[in-house]
Structures are given as structure tokens and as C-alpha cells.
């Protein structure tokens, strides 16, 4: 057994591709050796800008000779099955054995040495490597992410010979491009990492990441500052350096007039610098860059060069900022009529018009408690920054720039904040706005897009959701639930409808219920509990729904709840088995009345004729002769008004508690009472009583939908 | 820093360096173009099987980038130093780094890095993979391995180096304003030579250029290009594509091309460039 070292030396691999490349290297290596039957121990993978490396421990000396019998298709199977089997085994039909109506193949595997298998593995790795983008170079036909220059392949101390389009494996590689430009000879897996370290290459990306993370922090601390941690930058810089050296420099404090986000973004995106804050949390006029060299002047020239580049960039940013501040957002907003939002939904100006109206409606209906004029103002200015130079340069700062400009131009803070935050929440885990003006604009903006796209046939399908409507719906639900906004989704959807679009109310409502299930699943609520509540909650008030679901979840997790659910199922099963619909009435299904979702089943009870009949029949009082029957009846008599009052008052815990009081009587009833009594009158009475029990429970939540 | 190279010595140094490495040293192409890549010595020569090495300075005109000479970092016309080596040699990176040493950049004192930057020219139907080369955080060179030009595979592959001469000179000379660059060592600055050009060209490109005549010029270039294609004259055809491309750039600076139209114009120029490249390959075959 020996350790195997593989290094693929190339020109600079893009930083963003390295993590995935390491995973693929390990995966492909394990796959190739696995298929060949070569056993190896632990596999470590490394990457630097110029190399991908792998060390496999304890590689077996080779594979043993083996015979293996493979079972094929039945002789009677269609010919394609046989063809596939022959392809897979590489045999011909006359080499197969026929036994008991089935084909069998015997595969002979010769003993193979590890070196041979590894050489094949390297060839396959290079040929099949799934780079996101690969290229050719020179006159060759080989493809790699950038030109491939060398292969180190050592099993123990011996070279695994392989020649890939003129790139020949060996034991030599190169050190750091500038510190150690010459060849270095590697002894094997055991000295690879240390030998390269001696030549200014830290092979292990995690070690480089640590050097950057800790070094950048230390240099900031030295100046009494706090580094703004940015793990993405740490990884990216580790992918750009073989010998990382964090260096700190400063820029002119006058640039701090530019919005903080712009400075941080310029530093991060364009220059890959870290930013720092002072002890008041304000941005400090410094940057931390990561050089790939231990410079002879300790980095003085590098810091000065980087400072000048950053100054030029910030000067550009400041130019845009100063231009933008001069133009009132109101003026900028006029240009939005020239920007198409979506061909079917009109321009951004059209959208603004609708959003302003909807946001104002939210306030005027008392759904969101905010200043209606501020809300409308914020809505009308919310998208104006899209035409500013700043957002042109930094599209990811949409909203943020508008917020700064609004504040600088004297808009009230509530308006400026609403402009800044109205895109939120973006995705789960993002902060959900709570400021009322912001909530109104954010809600209106998302509702307008969601309903509009549905109306014009642009709803998400399968994995395609080009307008991020699923995210919009989750954002709407988060805004509603976090802020306890009491609104019927039906009204909200109607208010958001675009003129001239199709009626998509039902589809959108269903979409929200699906999203709610997904959102609640994250909170540990299973979908059947939501179905059970949706069946009895038809107004589409999400706040109410979530409270009811939560109470139901808590209840079914208690002993009372679980037992009641069992009893409920038993009652429902008996009624179903007996096809019992109450003697007087046919079942709601038979009457063509939708039971759930669309309409509240309770309307049945509100109907003057039907209601009375139900009441008379369901009371089942007359002639109850057994104690347990009487006990259940009085329990129902007591629980029903309590439950409905509690539901009315939205005290769902109390409603559940009322149901809990039925647990003992129903259990006793099942223990002692024979429902299918030979006496038809008794049977009818008891079935009616069970029906009453079922329906009482159903009024709190449709227990038939609960699984388990 | 007076020991650093003047703008013209920077060019002369690069000429000598690349000349010694087998490049033919060409003069700028006598047409207006947006980038050194447009030069036929790059576009046409990167197609077909024949080896080729060339280096040249190319004046580049980017009408929309003009700032009336008021911005210390932006110019509507500037210079690129372009090197093409076909097939790309295995030591292309080392050759390039050698050129940096030659112009006074010590890689043990400065931070030289190859940062991913894939190159694509929609108007030329061309793309390649490579990097922007950073020196202390500043992009000084675009380094590309051409994969396709004019929609045709590059076989063998051409390696292209494009140095931004003004930026590089600003860096070497330690100057913060492009117009302060020492053009030579006899007291002439970049501003002495070009500031007035920037002012007048900006005014012309943004305010004066007659757009009717420009649209007419675009149509004429298209027609001439098609005529040359018919007559199997790829080089004059390609020159007309260059002309159409520059007219389009000026129209953009005048702000008369809408976003929707923009794509159509780019597509039109690309079709011309592709047709010229196709004719070039056919003739060479």
C-alpha cells in the first residue's frame, strides 16, 4: 500500500470555480478507481490558482483476478433488454449462458496493477472534467479550464506514467510564480505540501483562507478598527493567491460622503478589498487588500498602487453620486415611462401608478396603519433610482441608492426608508420590514407583480420562475404574518388586479396557500394541519389562519388531541361505512355543495331550513338510554357553544380546549355503546350522535384532513 | 520617479521586446476603431492555420467614453498596445511577465495577478477565455486565448495581449491624471498633445455629429461591405465592417439608438464581420 499524489498544474483557474473543482476531482477519482475495483483510503483535495491536487492514502497494490456472474434479462424479454445487457457486459450472445429461462454472463477480471488503473483514471479525469467553461490553446486539441502545463503523478515514490496530448506526467512542478520560478521535484504525497510551502505555495486552501481571515482581522485591529467580515471575499482571495499577504491602506476621508454601500461594494466587487469600521460602527477610510507576494519593500508600493486605483474608482462613484443628488427623484421618476417593466404589464411608470394606488388603498381600508400621503409619495419615488447613474453602475444597490437620495433631498425619513427597503424581504431569512410606510409599499409592489403576472399568463411552472413570483408570494406572507396584517386575501387580490387582465383570483389564492404550506413547513408545521384549517377558514386571512394552525398543531401534539383525533377517525369511519348522512339529509357532496376550500361548510348550518333540521336531528336527545350516550350529549351541549364562541373570538386555544372536553365522553361512548344496535331507532340515534360529534369537531378544524 | 519610462519610451520598449520575440511590428491601422482587436492583423489573422506574430499600437475611439477632457481617468480616444501570437506558445504568460519587467515593473515589489475575465465581442462574433492582469489592483492588460472569431473556431488558438497604454504609463510614472503623463523626456505632456482633441471630439461626438449623415454612412458601409463580399474581397469587406462599427458607436454617443434597436445594429455589424471572416477563410483555403 502506498499513497498517491496527483497535481494538475495549469494557468490561473478562476477563483469561483475552485471549490467545485475540488469536489469534482474527489468524486471523479473515487468513481474511476471504484469502477476499476481499486481500493483507496482517505482522499484529500487541494486547489490553488495554478493547481488542482489530490492525495489518496493507502492505495491497494492492485485488484485481484476475479470471476463474476451477472444475471441478465429473461430469455423471453424484448430484444432491447438483451442488447443493453450485451453492451453493458461487452460480450456476444453466444458467450452468455442460458439457465432457467434467464441469461447469465460470466465476467473475467484479470489482475490489474494500481499504476495502470491510476493512469487510466488520470486520462479520464482530464477528459471528463466538468469545468463550467473550458478552452483549447496552442495547436492542441486538449481542453482544460486554462492551459494545462504539468501533471505530477506519484504512487509512493514512483511516477505513474501518462501522456495526455503531450503533457507528460513526472515528479516536477513549480513553486510560487515570482518567489520560486524554477522547477521543483516532489518526492511523493508525504512531502508535497511541505515542499511547496518552502517554495512559497500554500497548497491547502483552508490554510490560505485562515491566513487571510485572521491576518486581515489582525491588521485592522492594529489600527484600532474592526474588519467587516466577508467570508465570500476570504474564499475569493484564497482562490487568487498562493502566498496570501493581507495589507492595509487608507483612502482620502472625503470619499466618505459617498453612500457607505457604494464604497463597500466598489471595494468588494471591483477590487476584492475588505472594509473596516471604527469603534462607532462607521465606515473607516481604509481598505485591506490581499497580495500574492511577500514584497521586498513590505508591500509599500503595493499599498500605494492599490490606494490610487481605489481613489480613481471612488472619484468615479462620487461623480455619479453628485450628479444624482442634483436631480430630484421626482424628475427621475418621469423617465420611468421609457423603461419597459414587462411587455404585457407596461412600463415601470405604469407599475408605479398601480402600486401607488394599491398602497394608498391599503391605508385607506385601515389594513396598514400609516400616513396615506407618505405611503403614496414613497410608492411614487420607489423606483426612481433605476435611472440614476449610481444604480446604472451598481444595479444591486437599487432601493438603497433611492433611499439615500430621498434623504439627501429632504424627504421624510419614513419615505426614504420605504424607498430603501421596499424590495424586502428578498428570500427567506431576509429582514422583514416593520415600518408601516415601508410595509404598505413593499406589500403593494409585490402584490402588483404577482397578481399581474398571473393575470397575463406568466405564472411559474416547474423549475421555471423567471419573475421570482414564489419569492414574492413568500415575501407577501412574511410581511402579513410578521406585521399581523388583517386582510382577506380575496380582497387584497381583487384590489391588486390589473385592468384588462384575466381573472386569476382563484389561482393566486391557491398559489398563496401552497406557499403558506411551504413557509409553515419551515416552521415545523405539516401541510395536513394547514389543509385542516384552510377547509374551515375561507376568508383567506393569513394571520387568523396561522394562529389557528398553530393552536391545532399544539393540540394534536397533546394526549387529549391525539386521542380525540383517533376517536374522530373512528366516528368518521363508522359514518362512512354505514353511508350515514343523517337520515334526513343527503351528504353535502350529494347535494353538490363544495365541502372545503371554496365555501365554508358552516353555511349549511346558517341555512334556516337545513339548519333547523340539522339541529333537531343532531341533538339526538330523545330517547338516549345509556349513560354514555347522555354524557356525550351533555358534553357536546357544553362544548359546542364554547368552541364556536372561542372561534369567533379567535381564541383558538380555547376552542381546542373545548374539544378536549369531548375526549373522555367519546372514548367512554365507544367503550360501552354498540352503535349498530339491532333496534333501528337506537342505531339511527347513535349514528346521528356520532355525526354531531364529527361535525362539532369539524367546526374547529377539519380533522378528516389530518394524517396519522 | 523620473527614471520611469515616458509614454513614447514605453511604446518603444514594448516594440523592441516583442520585435525580438518574432513579432512583426505594425503601424496603427488607418481606420477608426473601438479596440485594437478590430485591426485585421488580429481578427483576420487569427483565422486559418497559418502561424502569425504581430505587435502594434492601435488608437481606439470610444465616443461614449469622452468626458471633454475633464475626467482624469476617462478618454474618448486612447491607445492600446496589442500583441498576437499564433499559435499561443506554452510560455505566453512568462513572455508577458517578461515584458512587464522590461518596462520597469518588478514582480517581487508589485502584486501581479491573473483575475478571471472572459472576453466576448458581440460585434465581431468572437470570444475567448483569459484574465485581466492586475498590477496592485489595477487592470493593466487583457489576456485572452481566442476560441472563436467571426463565428469560426480558432485553430490553432491565438493568444492576445492588450495593454492599456495610458493606464500602464500612469502607473509607471505615478501620475493621477492622464493629461499629466510625460509624453517624452523633453517636457511634453499627454495633455499638451491630446487635451484639445478630447475637448473637441467630445463636443463633436455628443453634440454636433449629424445623425442623418451618420445613418447614411452606416447604410453605405453595409452596402460597400456586401459589394466586396460578392466580389470575394475579404479585406476591403472587413474594413467596411470596421467603418460600420465606428459609425454605430458615434450614433450611440449621440443617443439616437434605443435599447431595442441597439441589439439589431450590433447584429448587423456582426453579420458583416462574419461574412468578411468567412470570405477570408474561403480565400485562404
Q: What is the pLDDT of residues B201-240, one digit of tens each?
A: 999 988 898 989 999 999 999 999 999 999 999 999 999 9
**C-alpha grid cell, residue A353:** 401608478
CA dist., res. A181 & res. A195, Å (int): 14
Least confident of A340-344, A357-361, A605-609: A605-609
Q: What pLDDT score does B71 carry?
A: 86
**C-alpha grid cell, residue B26:** 505594425
Q: What pLDDT score does A43 carry?
A: 97
Give the pLDDT band (50/70/90) at residue B274: very high
Inter-chain touch B147–A136, beta carbons under 8 Å: yes
A315 reaches B (C-beta below 8 A): yes
Output DSSP code: residue A269. Answer: I
| Cβ proximity of A75 and A101 under 8 Å | yes
Is the pLDDT score of A503 beyond 50?
yes
- CA A180 distance to own-chain centroid: 45
| Three-state SS at A314 | helix
| Cβ proximity of A269 and A230 under 8 Å | no
Provide, as residue numbers in chain B, all residues whose Cβ is less than 8 Å from the Cβ of A175. none
Closest alpha carbon within chain B to A245: B111
Inter-chain touch B156–A139, beta carbons under 8 Å: yes
> How deeply is A396 buried, as exposed, middle or buried, from its count of CB atoms within 10 A (0-12, 13-18, 19+)?
exposed
Q: What pLDDT score does A93 carry?
A: 86
CA dist., res. A701 & res. A532, Å (int): 5
Is the pLDDT score of B280 beyond 90?
yes
Give the pLDDT band (50/70/90) at residue A590: very low
Provide, as residue numbers in chain B, all residues whose Cβ is less than 8 Å from the Cβ of A309. 136-138
Closest alpha carbon within chain B to A239: B115
Q: For A251-282, write each residue's pLDDT tens digit.
A: 999 999 899 989 998 999 889 999 999 999 99
Which of A20, A51, A135, A315 to probe the B interface (max B CBs under 10 A)? Answer: A135
Average pLDDT over residues A138-165: 96
A240 reaches B (C-beta below 8 A): yes
Is the pLDDT score of A618 beyond 70?
no
**C-alpha grid cell, residue A667:** 372514548
> How deeply is A282 buried, as exposed, middle or buried, from its count of CB atoms within 10 A (0-12, 13-18, 19+)?
exposed
CA dist., res. A202 & res. A185, Å (int): 16
CA dist., res. A40 & res. A1, Å (int): 9
Q: For A410-419, write each residue's pLDDT tens digit.
A: 999 999 999 9
Is the pLDDT score of A67 beyond 60?
yes
For chain A, the average pLDDT equals: 89
Count Cα atoms within 13 angstroms, Cβ side, for A494: 7
Average pLDDT over residues A234-255: 96
CA dist., res. A136 & res. B156, Å (int): 9
Q: For A289, which of B115, B129, B137 is closest by C-beta distance?
A: B137
- CA A633 distance to own-chain centroid: 50
Residues A379-392 as b/e (b if ≥16 CB within 10 A, e otherwise) read: bbbbbbbbbbbbbe
- CA A700 distance to own-chain centroid: 33
Phi, psi (rounded to 5 degrees) for B235: -70, -50
CA dist., res. A695 & res. A706, Å (int): 15
Count Cα atoms within 13 angstroms, Cβ side, for A312: 22
Inter-chain touch B72–A12, beta carbons under 8 Å: no
* % of chain A surpassing 90 pLDDT: 59
CB proximity list for A194: less than 8 A, separation 6 or greater:
none
CA dist., res. A517 & res. A526, Å (int): 8
Which of B65, B75, B90, B137 to probe the A interface (max A CBs under 10 A)? Answer: B137
CB proximity list for A634: less than 8 A, separation 6 or greater:
none
| Three-state SS at A484 | coil
Q: What pLDDT score does A624 carry?
A: 64
Inter-chain touch B136–A304, beta carbons under 8 Å: yes
| Cβ proximity of A378 and A445 under 8 Å | no
Give the pLDDT band (50/70/90) at residue A611: very low
Q: Does the reported pTM lie above 0.90? A: no
CA distance A49 to chain B (A): 9
Q: What pLDDT score does B259 carry?
A: 65
B87 reaches A (C-beta below 8 A): yes
Least confident of A182-191, A563-572, A672-681, B221-230: A672-681
| Cβ proximity of B152 and B143 under 8 Å | no
CA dist., res. A595 & res. A30, Å (int): 56
Inter-chain touch A136–B113, beta carbons under 8 Å: no
Give the pLDDT band (50/70/90) at residue A564: confident
DSSP assignment string, A113-165: EHHHHHHHHHHHHHHH---SS-B--TT----BSS-EEEEEEEETTEE---EET
Q: What pLDDT score does A496 carry?
A: 95
Closest alpha carbon within chain A to B109: A295
| Cβ proximity of A318 and A255 under 8 Å | yes
Residues 93-152 (A) with a CB less than 8 A from some CB of B? 133, 135-139, 145-147, 149
| Cβ proximity of B169 and B4 under 8 Å | no
A182 reaches B (C-beta below 8 A): no
A461 reaches B (C-beta below 8 A): no
Is the pLDDT score of A591 beyond 50?
no
Cell 483576420 sits at which residue? B44
Output DSSP code: residue A174. Answer: E
Q: What is the arrangement of strands in the sheet containing A245-250, beginning at the earlier edge strand?
A: A226-227, A274-277, A283-291, A245-250
Inter-chain touch A149–B90, beta carbons under 8 Å: yes
DSSP assignment string, A343-379: TTTEEHHHHHHHHHHHHHHHHHTTSS-S-HHHHHHHH
Residues 161-180 (A) with a CB less than 8 A from some CB of B? 177-179
> How deeply is B198 buried, as exposed, middle or buried, from its count of CB atoms within 10 A (0-12, 13-18, 19+)?
buried
Inter-chain touch A311–B176, beta carbons under 8 Å: yes
Is the pLDDT score of A160 beyond 50?
yes
- A-B interface: how many C-beta pairs under 8 angstroms? 110
Give the pLDDT band (50/70/90) at residue A429: confident
Inter-chain touch B108–A179, beta carbons under 8 Å: yes
Is the pLDDT score of A517 beyond 80?
yes
Is the pLDDT score of A606 beyond 50?
no
Is the pLDDT score of A595 beyond 60?
no
Give the pLDDT band (50/70/90) at residue A598: very low
Is the pLDDT score of B165 beyond 50?
yes
Provide, as residue numbers in chain A, all residues whose Cβ is less than 8 Å from the Cβ of B110. 293, 295, 301-302, 305
* Secondary structure, 3-state, chain B: CCCCCCHHHHHHHHHHHHHCCCCEEECCCCCCCCCHHHCHHHHCCCCCCCCEEEEEEEEEECHHHCCCCCCCCCCCEEEEEEEEEECCCCCHHHHHHHHHHHCCCCCCCCCEEEEECCEEECCCCEEEEEEEEEECCEEEEEEEEEEEECCEECCCCCEEEEEEHHHHHHHHHCCCCHHHCECCCCCCEHHHHHHHHHHHHHHHHHHHCCHHHHHHHHHHHHHHHHHHHHCCCHHHHHHHHHHHHHHHHHHHHCCCCCHHHHHHHHHHHHHHHHHHHHHHHHHHC
**C-alpha grid cell, residue A223:** 489600527
| Cβ proximity of A129 and A92 under 8 Å | no
Nearest to A620 by CA among A606, A637, A608: A637
B104 reaches A (C-beta below 8 A): no
**C-alpha grid cell, residue B260:** 431595442
Is the pLDDT score of A317 beyond 90?
no
Is the pLDDT score of A622 beyond 70?
no
Q: What pLDDT score does A585 carry?
A: 42
Residues 271-290 (A) with a CB less than 8 A from some CB of B? 271, 273, 289
Inter-chain touch A296–B108, beta carbons under 8 Å: yes
Q: Are strands A245-250 and A283-291 parallel, antiparallel or unpaired?
A: antiparallel
Cα–Cα–Cα angle for A316, A317, A318, rounded to 5 degrees: 90
Nearest to B121 by CA among B103, B142, B95, B148: B148
Inter-chain touch B107–A177, beta carbons under 8 Å: yes
- CA A286 distance to own-chain centroid: 35
Q: What pLDDT score does B263 carry?
A: 81
CB proximity list for A124: less than 8 A, separation 6 or greater:
A28, A32
First CA to last CA distance, chain A: 54
Average pLDDT over residues A287-296: 96
Nearest to A389 by CA among A407, A402, A379, A376: A402
Average pLDDT over residues A418-435: 92
Give the pLDDT band (50/70/90) at residue A536: confident
| Cβ proximity of A303 and A246 under 8 Å | no
> How deeply is A526 buried, as exposed, middle or buried, from its count of CB atoms within 10 A (0-12, 13-18, 19+)?
middle
Inter-chain touch B145–A137, beta carbons under 8 Å: yes
CA distance A293 to chain B (A): 6
CA distance A14 to chain B (A): 5
CA dist., res. B193 & res. A37, Å (int): 72
Amino acid at each position: 500500500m502506498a499513497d498517491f499524489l496527483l497535481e494538475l498544474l495549469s494557468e490561473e483557474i478562476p477563483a469561483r470555480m475552485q471549490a467545485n473543482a475540488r469536489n469534482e476531482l474527489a468524486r471523479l477519482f473515487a468513481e474511476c478507481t471504484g469502477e476499476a475495483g481499486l481500493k483507496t483510503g482517505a482522499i484529500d483535495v487541494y486547489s490553488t490558482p495554478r493547481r488542482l491536487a489530490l492525495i489518496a492514502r493507502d492505495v491497494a497494490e492492485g485488484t485481484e483476478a476475479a470471476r463474476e456472474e451477472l444475471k441478465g434479462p429473461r430469455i423471453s424479454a424484448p430484444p432491447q433488454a438483451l442488447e443493453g445487457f450485451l453492451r453493458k457486459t461487452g460480450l456476444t450472445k453466444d458467450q452468455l449462458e442460458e439457465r432457467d429461462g434467464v441469461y447469465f454472463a460470466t465476467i473475467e477480471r484479470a489482475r490489474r496493477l494500481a499504476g495502470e488503473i491510476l493512469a487510466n483514471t488520470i486520462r479520464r479525469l482530464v477528459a471528463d472534467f466538468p469545468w463550467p467553461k473550458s478552452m483549447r490553446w496552442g495547436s492542441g486539441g486538449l481542453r482544460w479550464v486554462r492551459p494545462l502545463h504539468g501533471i505530477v503523478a506519484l504512487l509512493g515514490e514512483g511516477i505513474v506514467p501518462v501522456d495526455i496530448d503531450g503533457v507528460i506526467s513526472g515528479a516536477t512542478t513549480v513553486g510560487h510564480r515570482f518567489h520560486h520560478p524554477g522547477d521543483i521535484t516532489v518526492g511523493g504525497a508525504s512531502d508535497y505540501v511541505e515542499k511547496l510551502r518552502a517554495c512559497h505555495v500554500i497548497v491547502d486552501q483552508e490554510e490560505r483562507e485562515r491566513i487571510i481571515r485572521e491576518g486581515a482581522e489582525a491588521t485592522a485591529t492594529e489600527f484600532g478598527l474592526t474588519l467587516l467580515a466577508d467570508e465570500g471575499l476570504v474564499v475569493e482571495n484564497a482562490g487568487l493567491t498562493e502566498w496570501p499577504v493581507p495589507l492595509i491602506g487608507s483612502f482620502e476621508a472625503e470619499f466618505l460622503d459617498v453612500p457607505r454601500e457604494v464604497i463597500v461594494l466598489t471595494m468588494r466587487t471591483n477590487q476584492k478589498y475588505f472594509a473596516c469600521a471604527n469603534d462607532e460602527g462607521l465606515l473607516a477610510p481604509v481598505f485591506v487588500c490581499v497580495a500574492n507576494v511577500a514584497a521586498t519593500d513590505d508591500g509599500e508600493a503595493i499599498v500605494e498602487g492599490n490606494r490610487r486605483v481605489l481613489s480613481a474608482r471612488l472619484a468615479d462613484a462620487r461623480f455619479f453620486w453628485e450628479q444624482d443628488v442634483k436631480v430630484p427623484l421626482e424628475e427621475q421618476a418621469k423617465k420611468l415611462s421609457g423603461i419597459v417593466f414587462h411587455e404585457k404589464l407596461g412600463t415601470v411608470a405604469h407599475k408605479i401608478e398601480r402600486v401607488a394606488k394599491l398602497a394608498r388603498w391599503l391605508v385607506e381600508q385601515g389594513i396598514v396603519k400609516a400616513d396615506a400621503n407618505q405611503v403614496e409619495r414613497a410608492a411614487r419615488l420607489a423606483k426612481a433610482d433605476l435611472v440614476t447613474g449610481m444604480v446604472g453602475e451598481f444595479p444591486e444597490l437599487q432601493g438603497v441608492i433611492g433611499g439615500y437620495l430621498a434623504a439627501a433631498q429632504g424627504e421624510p425619513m419614513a419615505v426614504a426608508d420605504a424607498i430603501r427597503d421596499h424590495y424586502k424581504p428578498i428570500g427567506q431569512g431576509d429582514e422583514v420590514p416593520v415600518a408601516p410606510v415601508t410595509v404598505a409599499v413593499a406589500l403593494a409592489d409585490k402584490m402588483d407583480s404577482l397578481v399581474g403576472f398571473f393575470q397575463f399568463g406568466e405564472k411559474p411552472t416547474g423549475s421555471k420562475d423567471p419573475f421570482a413570483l414564489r419569492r414574492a408570494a413568500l415575501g407577501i406572507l412574511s410581511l402579513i404574518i410578521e406585521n399581523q396584517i388583517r386582510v382577506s386575501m380575496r380582497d387584497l387580490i381583487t384590489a391588486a388586479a390589473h385592468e384588462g387582465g384575466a381573472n386569476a383570483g382563484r389561482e393566486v389564492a391557491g398559489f398563496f396557500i401552497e406557499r403558506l404550506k411551504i413557509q409553515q413547513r419551515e416552521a415545523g408545521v405539516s401541510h395536513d394541519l394547514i389543509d385542516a384549517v384552510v377547509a374551515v377558514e375561507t376568508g383567506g386571512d393569513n394571520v387568523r389562519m396561522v394562529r389557528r394552525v398553530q393552536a391545532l398543531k399544539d393540540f394534536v401534539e397533546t394526549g387529549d388531541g391525539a386521542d380525540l383525533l383517533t376517536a374522530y377517525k373512528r366516528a368518521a369511519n363508522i359514518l362512512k361505512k354505514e353511508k350515514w348522512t343523517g337520515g334526513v339529509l343527503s351528504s353535502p357532496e350529494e347535494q353538490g355543495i363544495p365541502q372545503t376550500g371554496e365555501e365554508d361548510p358552516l353555511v349549511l348550518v346558517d341555512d334556516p331550513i337545513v339548519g333547523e333540521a340539522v339541529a333537531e336531528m343532531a341533538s339526538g336527545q330523545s330517547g338516549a338510554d345509556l349513560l354514555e350516550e347522555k354524557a356525550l350529549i351533555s358534553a357536546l351541549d357544553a362544548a359546542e357553544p364554547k368552541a364556536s364562541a372561542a372561534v369567533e373570538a379567535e381564541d383558538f386555544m380555547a376552542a381546542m380546549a373545548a374539544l378536549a372536553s369531548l375526549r373522555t365522553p367519546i372514548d367512554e361512548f365507544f367503550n360501552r355503546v354498540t352503535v349498530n344496535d339491532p333496534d333501528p331507532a337506537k342505531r339511527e340515534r347513535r349514528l346521528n350522535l356520532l355525526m354531531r360529534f364529527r361535525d362539532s369537531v369539524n367546526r374547529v378544524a377539519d380533522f378528516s384532513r389530518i394524517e396519522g | 520617479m523620473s527614471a520611469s519610462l515616458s509614454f513614447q519610451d514605453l511604446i518603444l520598449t514594448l516594440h523592441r521586446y516583442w520585435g525580438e520575440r518574432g513579432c512583426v511590428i505594425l503601424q496603427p491601422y488607418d481606420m477608426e476603431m473601438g479596440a485594437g482587436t478590430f485591426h485585421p492583423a488580429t481578427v483576420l489573422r487569427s483565422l486559418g492555420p497559418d502561424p502569425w506574430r504581430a505587435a502594434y499600437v492601435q488608437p481606439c475611439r470610444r465616443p461614449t467614453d469622452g468626458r471633454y477632457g475633464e475626467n482624469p481617468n476617462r478618454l474618448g480616444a486612447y491607445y492600446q498596445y496589442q500583441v498576437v501570437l499564433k499559435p499561443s506558445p506554452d510560455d505566453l504568460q512568462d513572455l508577458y511577465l517578461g515584458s512587464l519587467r522590461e518596462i520597469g515593473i518588478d514582480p517581487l515589489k508589485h502584486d501581479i495577478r491573473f483575475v478571471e475575465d472572459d472576453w466576448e465581442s458581440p460585434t465581431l462574433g468572437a470570444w475567448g477565455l483569459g484574465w485581466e492582469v492586475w498590477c496592485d489592483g489595477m487592470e493593466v492588460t487583457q489576456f485572452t486565448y481566442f476560441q472563436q472569431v467571426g463565428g469560426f473556431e480558432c485553430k490553432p488558438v491565438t493568444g492576445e495581449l492588450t495593454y492599456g497604454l495610458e493606464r500602464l504609463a500612469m502607473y509607471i510614472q505615478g501620475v493621477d491624471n492622464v493629461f499629466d503623463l510625460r509624453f517624452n523626456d523633453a517636457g511634453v505632456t499627454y495633455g499638451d498633445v491630446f487635451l484639445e482633441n478630447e475637448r473637441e471630439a467630445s463636443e463633436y461626438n455628443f453634440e454636433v455629429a449629424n445623425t442623418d449623415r451618420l445613418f447614411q454612412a452606416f447604410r453605405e458601409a453595409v452596402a460597400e461591405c456586401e459589394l466586396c463580399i460578392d466580389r470575394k474581397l475579404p479585406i476591403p469587406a472587413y474594413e467596411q465592417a470596421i467603418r460600420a462599427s465606428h459609425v454605430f458607436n458615434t450614433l450611440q454617443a449621440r443617443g439616437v439608438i434605443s435599447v431595442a434597436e441597439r441589439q439589431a445594429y450590433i447584429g448587423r455589424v456582426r453579420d458583416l464581420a462574419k461574412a468578411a471572416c468567412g470570405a477570408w477563410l474561403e480565400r485562404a483555403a
